[in-house]
Structure 1
């Protein structure tokens, strides 16, 4: 694994965890949050895949990182629109991951 991937891998794994926590909490809210739930699942999955791609130094790191940044930004924006603590935490972590992934995408 390329050492330059470390901070982006950590950001992706942190985002994966935050999205999973948010997903679980959103399912319990009374408010209709279907789009938020859908986006946090997509975000968690792309973050997991992005971390795996970097861990194996794949040739598609830049492309996957660019896609991950796009999805993290969308997820962050959706989560930020809700006042729930779990959504606000997830939004901040998603935006941080998007920034790391943009750096990786170059």
Structure 2
């Protein structure tokens, strides 16, 4: 696996973990109604990132459109999580999503 693919997979893996953690933590919050968009974004982003991870070791088959979809999903999830400044899990998720979006961008444009 090339260095750029390894960087991508590491970021995607971290993003899946952060999104799943944020998803579960949001479900435990009392103000769940204000977190609906965040919860949905967490789940969507984790699912798309998981699809990218399925290509680990098969870089020659990794579709740039899938990586672009992952980048867009990560950006949307980060935006939703950033709105919840008082929730540490959302802020950690936003960082992981932004890092993943950057790795996706670098992979596509390298």
TM-score, structure 1 normalization: 0.92
SS in 2 for 1:77: helix
Instruction: Give the whole-Å Cα distance in 2 for the aligned partners of 1:102 and 1:59.
Output: 17
Are the aligned partners of 1:53 and 1:61 in contact in 2 as well (CA < 8 Å)? no
The aligned residue for residue 37 of structure 2 is: 35
Q: Which runs of 5+ in 1 are unaligned?
A: none
The within-5 A match list for 1:21-60 is 21-31=21-31, 32=33, 33-60=35-62
RMSD of aligned Cα (Å): 1.4
Number of residues paired by the alignment?
106
SS in 2 for 1:30: coil
The aligned residue for residue 10 of structure 1 is: 10
TM-score, structure 2 normalization: 0.89
The aligned residue for residue 99 of structure 1 is: 102
1:90 aligns with 2:93: yes
Are the aligned partners of 1:68 and 1:101 in contact in 2 as well (CA < 8 Å)? yes
